[in-house]
């Protein structure tokens, strides 16, 4: 590109000024490249209304996608919290049911103790059972009750039963209450571990005939 009467640098400066002028008219800034040689090619582009509308539409779609993702994350978190609340409610109901069952077992044990006292006060038969055998049979009844209390339960439930017996059983001898509590907890855990319940003869041979 040549302009008579102008040097190469003057031509380049003139072209640059023309480029900036055109750029302001089309709202698009474009800086021409400067070459060592005296020839060059310059391009000018105008952003069409269609391109502006397309770009704006793309920005709107991107914003909508972002909002949709945020909404999806919020809904997922709400669903997770709802499931957690349901699980906690179910566990609370299970604990309450186990407490009620433990209370029922405590009442049965108290009834058993009263029955033992009544049996002791009754006259002996002509062929009375030995005191050792009577005690063993009563302990086996306690074993049977506590074992059944542990079926489909957890060790934690057995610990609760053991503690409540040691505290609430209507016996004045504290040492005996604690021993009964430990014995009942052990029997309950036998069921938790799914061990086969001992028969009375096995129980008698294992615990009573020593």
d(CA 35, CA 13): 12
How many other C-beta atoms can be found within 10 angstroms of the C-beta atom of residue 106? 19
Looking at per-residue pLDDT, the higher value among 70 and 139 belongs to 70
pLDDT at residue number 55: 85
Beta strands in the chain (DSSP E): none
Helix (H, G, I), strand (E, B) or coil at 120: helix
- The more confident residue out of 30 and 105 is 105
pLDDT higher at 45 or 152: 152
The predicted model gives 188-206 an average pLDDT of 85
Which is more confidently placed, 45 or 189?
Answer: 189
Q: How far is it, in rounded angstroms, from Cα 192 to Cα 98? A: 14
* pLDDT band at residue 31 under the 50/70/90 scheme: low
User: Which of 23, 4, 6, 47 has the alpha carbon at shortest distance from 32?
Assistant: 23
Percentage of residues of the chain with pLDDT beyond 70: 73
Per-residue confidence (pLDDT) for residue 38, from 0 to 100? 47
Q: Are the C-beta atoms of residues 105 and 149 closer than 8 Å to each other?
A: yes
Taking only the tens place, the pLDDT of each residue in 57-94 is 999 999 999 999 999 999 999 999 999 999 899 888 88
Cα 208 to Cα 34: distance, rounded to the nearest angstrom: 111
* 49-54 CB contacts, 8 Å cutoff, 24+ apart: none
For residue 104, name the pLDDT band (cuts at 50, 70, 90). Answer: confident
* Whether 29 contacts 23, CB under 8 Å: yes
Q: Which of 18-27, 43-52, 146-155 has the highest mean pLDDT?
A: 146-155
The number of helices, as runs of H, and strands, as runs of E, in the chain is 6, 0
Q: Please state the pTM of the whole predicted model.
A: 0.38
Of the ranges 12-26, 50-64, 127-141, 163-177, which is most confident? 50-64
- pLDDT tens across 112-125, in order? 777 766 665 554 44
């Amino acid at each position: 590109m040549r302009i008579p009467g102008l040097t190469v640098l003057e031509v380049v400066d003139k072209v640059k000024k023309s480029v900036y002028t055109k750029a302001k008219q089309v709202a698009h800034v474009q800086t021409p490249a400067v070459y060592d040689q005296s020839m060059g090619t310059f391009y000018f582009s105008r952003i069409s209304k269609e391109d502006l509308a397309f770009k704006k539409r793309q920005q709107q779609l991107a914003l909508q996608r972002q909002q949709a993702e945020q909404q999806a994350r919020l809904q997922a978190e709400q669903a997770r919290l709802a499931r957690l609340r349901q699980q906690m409610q179910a566990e609370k109901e299970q604990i309450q049911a186990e407490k009620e069952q433990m209370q029922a077992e405590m009442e049965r044990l108290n009834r058993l103790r009263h029955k033992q006292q009544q049996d002791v006060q009754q006259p002996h038969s002509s062929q009375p059972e030995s005191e050792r055998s009577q005690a063993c049979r009563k302990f086996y009844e306690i074993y049977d009750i506590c074992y059944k209390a542990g079926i489909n339960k957890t060790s934690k439930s057995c610990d609760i039963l053991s503690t409540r017996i040691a505290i609430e059983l209507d016996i004045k001898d504290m040492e005996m209450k604690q021993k009964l509590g430990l014995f009942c907890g052990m029997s309950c855990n036998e069921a938790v571990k799914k061990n086969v319940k001992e028969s009375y003869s096995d129980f008698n041979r294992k615990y009573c005939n020593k």
